[in-house]
Amino acid sequence: MSGFEDPYVYPEKDSRGKSVLKNKANIRDSEQLSEFEYEISSFRELQLKESPIKGNFDLEHLKGIHKKLFGDVYEWAGETRTVNMSKADTRFMPENLIGTFGDIVTDKLKAENHFRGLPKDKFVESISNFYKTWNEIHPFREGNGRATRVFLEEVSKNAGYVFRQDVVERNKQLWNRAAARSITTNGNDQSELKALMSQIVVDSRAYHLAKTKPEIAIAKHPELLAVYADINNKLKTLDKTSSDFDRQKNVLMNSEFKRHIYEINTGRSNFITTPPGVVTTDLAVKKTDARKSQELAIKATVVEKPKSKGLTR
């Protein structure tokens, strides 16, 4: 953004010769501001996991997320930028077109039923394109990355998937590189982004089977009851009088959980036949029953999970 005075930054550069964004704490050092922004936005992101911003998965929804994340840091949090931006060989959407293109991507999302009912490979394709477009739009002067990732988490959850932020954090450099390559003016290569996205997103039912207590997993996804019943039936084939019973039980449970998690996440399950994000009348009834319900009966029906379970791609 050379050649004009950026209204978002202080007139004076810091001791490193870097521009510093105007902020509520009046921090004049770029590194100190980065640390302050990271600490505050990380805390607010944790709050958003407990109490997500409700919305229609549009620009206003994204603005609400941005305001929550950065409202303690910047006066303009939650407001679209008023300047044009570029980075290296990437030129982001002109500021006067942010609203227009935000509406276009939202209309496309609605036309595709918010990605509900898609098998994983199709969902990876769709959510990658969705992210790429919002990254190109780049609605805010700062904080686009974190706000958009939280936004992706909500869109994924609505579609029956879990967007795993922990996988992004463990692969932050790879994520940033893939994101940049997907929107460069030299080619728009999405292959790396889609490969990484395939590791990040997982069918919500597979995720809860792997990560949450049985009664919680069943209350959220009643169709998992059939999976637990299958594992229980396999356990009944073991000889309880055997001196090696405990070891055999742990081996069998680990194997069965990993198998079911893999099959659900890849659409190969014989027990989970509804697509992600789709609630049939039968499932709606089961959810109502589960919420009212026999928590004790559920606990009596399901097996306790083994300590080590693999969450596959």
Q: With beta carbons less than 8 A apart as the criterion, state whether 111 and 119 touch.
A: no
* Number of neighbours of residue 111 by Cβ within 10 angstroms: 8
d(CA 86, CA 130): 20
Position of tokens 């549009």?
Answer: 58
Q: 10 Å Cβ neighbour count for 119?
A: 12
Q: What percent of the chain has pLDDT over 70?
A: 87
How far apart (Å, rounded) are the C-alpha atoms in residues 167 and 177? 15
Convert the pLDDT of each residue in 166-210 to its tens digit.
999 999 999 999 999 998 766 678 999 999 999 999 999 999 999
- The helix or strand, by DSSP H or E, that contains position 221, with its residue range, turns out to be none
pLDDT tens, position by position, 63-88:
999 999 999 999 999 999 999 998 87
Could you give the CA distance from residue 277 to residue 109 in angstroms, rounded to a whole number? 14
Sign of the alpha-carbon torsion through 302, 306, 308, 309:
negative
Backbone angles phi, psi at 36, to 5 degrees: -65, -45
Sketch out the chain's domains with CATH numbers: 30-204 (1.10.3290.10), 212-301 (no CATH)
Q: Where residue 282 falls among pLDDT bands split at 50, 70, 90?
A: low
pLDDT of residue 213: 93
What tens digit of pLDDT does each residue of 209-250 get?
Answer: 999 999 999 999 999 999 999 999 999 999 999 999 999 999
Q: Angle 226-257-307 (CA atoms, 0-180°, nearest 5)?
A: 125
